[in-house]
Amino acid sequence: MVSFTDSIRQQALALGFDTVGFTTPDAIKGAAAHLKEFIENEHHGTMTWMEKRTDERSHPNALWPEAKSVIMLGVNYGPEEDPRSLLTMPNKANVSVYARGKDYHDIIKKRLKVLARWMVSEVPSELKVFVDTAPVMEKPLAGAAGLGWQGKHTNLVSPEFGSWLFLGAIYTTLELETSEPHENQCGSCTACLDVCPTDAFTGPYKMDARRCISYLTIELKEEIPLEFRRALGNRIYGCDDCLSACPWNKFAQLSAEARFHAKEHLKSPNLAELVILDDANFRTLFSGSPVKRIGRNRFIRNVLYAIGNSGEKSHLPAVDALLSDESEVVRSAANWAKGELTP
């Protein structure tokens, strides 16, 4: 006889999820201490939202006391090729793989809601769905649910999909059979730590977000500290270096979801075309993309840093035009880029 847990798994796979696992709310007891240390060391930088609701983040039952089980689901967003190949093309812009296609939040949340409605129709219960929108520690829960393990780069590593999984969660009042947690198989490998351009890792499984290029280009609203600007290279939104370096990516595969494939204009965009975007054109170009959330000014700031690193003087007219931009952060980045191109 097929259990309801197996039925949920089959239904989830039919809806387009690539991997499914089951755990309990108390399965991540070590997460609280890790989060506490991270915040006490101020490694979260300006992400002050991480200081709030830490108990709910660390303990699922603090977020919802009635929850008896947690269903963790993953969708593969594996790219066509190693995104680091763009790093050798200084006049191109490197956008993180997850942001080259459609924003995953809406796509995955819709699937979670369809699965949730089906579950309730089969077995009446209460449940809540989450996709990076609440104090939920998706990666520890995914590890506890057997989807993979948290690698030394702090991200989830899947034996089937490498480092390329979007995660979603369903908290439910049902008591479901649990999956076996996945054994950590990083071994002595430090490839992800060694490749980091800004030395953001303070040790295995520990990161200082204030040094991470993803944090610097996406979360940080002001100027990026001088010490990191050259290390940015042509990375204008996020960084995939530690993910790409993981040897487990030898098992990675191209995402079956076409909406997660890179849009043509984001595969290898030209810096010269991006730096001239005004607010309206920025919003149009990045409609439906996660890139839109940082706004035109922060985006142009990042593009200007990349231009400064390009060594290409043909960018100077565009840089000069931005020296009087309305945004202070853009003007500052333009000044730095000009200085780098005209030493």
Strands (E), the chain: 19-23, 69-76, 94-95, 127-130, 149-150, 156-157, 165-172, 201-203, 206-207, 235-237
Residues 6+ apart with CB under 8 A from 246: 151, 153, 157, 162, 163, 191, 192
* Residues annotated as part of the active site: 132
Mean pLDDT score, 332-342: 98
Confidence grade of residue 184 (pLDDT, cut at 50, 70, 90): very high
Amino acid at 223: E
Mean pLDDT score, 195-214: 97
Q: Which residues of 186-219 are buried (b: 16+ CB within 10 A; e: fewer)?
A: beebebbbebbbbebbeeeebbbbbbbbbbbbbb
Asked if the model's pLDDT at residue 262 lies above 60, the reply is: yes
Domains and CATH numbers, the chain: 4-80+96-172 (3.40.109), 270-343 (1.25.10.10)
Mean pLDDT score, 57-83: 94
Residues 6+ apart with CB under 8 A from 124: none
Confidence grade of residue 56 (pLDDT, cut at 50, 70, 90): confident
* Residue carrying structure tokens 């387009």: 16
Q: Which residues of 231-247 are buried (b: 16+ CB within 10 A; e: fewer)?
A: bbbbbbbbbbbbbbbbe
Asked if the model's pLDDT at residue 1 lies above 60, the reply is: no
Q: Radius of gyration of the chain from Cα atoms?
A: 21
* pLDDT single digits (tens) 296-312: 999 999 999 999 999 99
User: Pick from 138, 139, 235, 255: which is nearest to 195 by CA?
Assistant: 235
* pLDDT single digits (tens) 42-53: 999 999 888 888
Confidence grade of residue 288 (pLDDT, cut at 50, 70, 90): very high
Count the neighbouring beta carbons within 10 Å of the beta carbon of residue 332. Answer: 17
Mean pLDDT score, 74-92: 95
Determine the Cα–Cα distance for residues 151 and 156; give it in Å rounded to an integer: 6
Q: DSSP class of residue 216?
A: I
Confidence grade of residue 2 (pLDDT, cut at 50, 70, 90): low
* pLDDT single digits (tens) 127-152: 999 998 788 999 999 999 999 999 99
Rounded percentage of the chain residues whose pLDDT exceeds 90? 90
Confidence grade of residue 98 (pLDDT, cut at 50, 70, 90): very high
* pLDDT single digits (tens) 13-43: 999 999 999 999 999 988 888 889 999 999 9
Q: What is the pTM of this model?
A: 0.95
Determine the Cα–Cα distance for residues 101 and 37; give it in Å rounded to an integer: 34
